[in-house]
Amino acid sequence: MLIDFFYTLRDAKLPVSVKEYLTLVEALKERVIAPSLDEFYYLARITLVKDEQYFDRYDQAFGAYFRGIEAKSALAFDVPDDWLKKRLDRDFTPEQKAQIEAMGGLDKLLERLKQLFDEQKERHEGGSKWIGTGGTSPFGNGGYNPEGIRIGGEGGQRSAAKVWEARAFRDYDDQVEIGTRNIKVALRRLRRFAREGAADELDLPDTIRSTAANAGWLDLKMVPERHNNVKVLMLLDVGGSMDDHIRRTEELFSAAKAEFKHLEFFYFHNCVYDFLWKNNRRRHAERTPTWDVLHRFTPDYKLIFVGDATMSPYEVVQPGGSVEYNNAEAGAVWLRRLADHFPRFAWLNPEPERLWEYRQSVSIIREVLGHRMYPLTIAGLETAMRALSK
């Protein structure tokens, strides 16, 4: 059985060696873990995976081999699990949605949520008042409300103002095989070459001219090697609705790392606030203040946002609108600061452009950034690169 598991990991392009596999077998023989699939998961990961950038590939391969494993996320509120089990998905007609009224702001939503936690004593489903599933109440999951707070479960309508659940994001893999060469070709419009460093490359035309002028005596001429000296700063949205666009974002990220020698990147979730991070597994412990990014990188960097800009409008325009913590300043303030500091910027959106008009948050961000939002397509990339190179 473990031999097939070993080859499953290899097929997933994990650099697993035979020696590491034998170490895993030896550990099992010595009974270092209890007979539990969960404990085997961690033992195999510790033994076989030496770099955390491969953790996500390992998770996918492990789940594909040992089917039926489902991770449960911890909730920020202690709500009984049986209240939140999704029995069915309700489809609401446009007329039903039009009848559902918002509660009048994020502060009122949070105040009402606290009241319900004090009053509600049992599970509820399909209603319009209590915390439950499949209804029109602003609190719960699986239903619809234009200004809701999702509690547990997976998002469906993507209109929640806050998401009360623990989130686990993963870094974009910069080693993914490029699906199309056209992405790299489009990014090359931004390249600007210059000769820098020591003179260690043969300048053949000048060598020929100098040798001819020197009566045939060889006169070698050297020049510094040509490098693409354009500097790029990428800010990448990760998690949530961006899970739908992982493949295309990874292709863009891989292409950018191959094309640009001077590439810096940070992650954010939904909208940029007062800190960013480099590693999603340590994003709560290792944060970089956005002010530090503004001070560290000079205005000659090309700034590229990558995100679907799909969220509650509160997350962009209101302090405390972040789904993860109470941010002191609105996301729109930070977007404007970044745009003012880096005059050459663009936002690449993987969402189909035909859907933008139906996303209020997209319209707000486009307005804040002077309509410098482009679709993450080949044509959109070429247009964005031309704008950045001006």
Q: What is the mean pLDDT of the chain?
A: 76
What per-residue confidence (pLDDT) applies to 281?
84
* Burial tier of 52 (Cβ tally within 10 Å: 0-12, 13-18, 19+): middle
Confidence label for 370 from pLDDT (cuts 50, 70 and 90): very high
Least confident range from 300-314, 343-357, 376-390: namely: 376-390
Whether pLDDT at 354 is above 80: yes
Comparing CA positions, the residue from 203, 256, 267, 195 lying closest to residue 384 is 256
User: Could you read off the pLDDT of 199-235 as tens digits, one per residue?
Assistant: 666 778 888 888 888 878 888 777 666 655 788 999 9
Question: What CA–CA distance (Å, rounded) separates 297 from 301?
Answer: 7
Report the candidate in 308, 183, 160, 312 with the shortest Cα–Cα distance to residue 243.
308
- Bigger pLDDT: 149 vs 379: 379
**Predicted local confidence at residue 331, as pLDDT:** 95
Q: To the nearest 5 percent, what fractions of the chain are helix, strand and coil?
A: 40, 15, 40
List the alpha helices (DSSP H) in 79-227: 81-84, 94-99, 106-119, 181-187, 204-213
CA nearest neighbour of 271 among 315, 326, 318: 315
Band of residue 191 on the pLDDT scale cut at 50, 70, 90? low
Q: Among the listed ranges 62-66, 147-151, 239-243, which one has the minimum average pLDDT value?
A: 147-151
Can you tell me the distance from the alpha carbon of 185 to that of 286, in angstroms, rounded to the nearest whole number?
34
* Residue in 102, 130, 101 with CA at minimum distance from that of residue 116: 130
Say which range, 85-94, 257-266, 272-281, 361-370, has the weakest mean pLDDT: 85-94
CATH number of 181-189+230-388: 3.40.50
Model pLDDT, residue 76? 43
Secondary structure (3-state) at 206: helix
Helices of type H across the chain = 2-11, 18-29, 37-48, 55-65, 81-84, 94-99, 106-119, 181-187, 204-213, 246-259, 290-296, 314-317, 331-341, 360-368, 378-388
**What's the gap between Cα 255 and its chain centre?**
16
The model's pLDDT over 69-117, given as tens digits with 9 standing for 90+, comes to 444 333 344 555 554 444 434 444 555 445 444 555 555 655 666 666 6
Please tell me which residue, 387 or 36, carries the higher pLDDT value: 387
The span from the CA of 190 to the CA of 185, in Å, is 10
pLDDT at 317: 92
For residue 47, give the 3-state DSSP assignment.
helix
pLDDT band at 53 (very low <50, low <70, confident <90, very high): confident
Domain ranges of the chain: 2-65, 81-164, 181-189+230-388, 199-227
Q: If we measure between CA atoms, which residue out of 298, 384, 308 comes closest to residue 349?
A: 308
Q: Note the pTM of the prediction, 2 decimals.
A: 0.54
What's the rounded Cα separation, in Å, for the pair 341 and 226?
A: 28
Residue 187 contacts residue 374 (beta carbons within 8 Å): no
Provide mean pLDDT across the span 146-158. Answer: 52
Q: How confident is the model at residue 65 (pLDDT cuts 50, 70, 90)?
A: confident
Give the residue from 221, 226, 195, 223 showing the smallest Cα distance to 208.
221
**Lowest mean pLDDT: which of 47-61, 129-143, 239-253?**
129-143
Over its C-alpha atoms, the chain yields an Rg (Å, rounded) of 26
Q: How many whole angstroms separate alpha carbon 215 and alpha carbon 236?
A: 59
Task: Report the share of the chain in percent with pLDDT over 90.
Answer: 26
Q: Please tell me the predicted confidence (pLDDT) of residue 178.
A: 40
Write the pLDDT tens digit of every residue in 300-321. 999 999 999 999 999 999 998 8
pLDDT at position 194 over 50: no
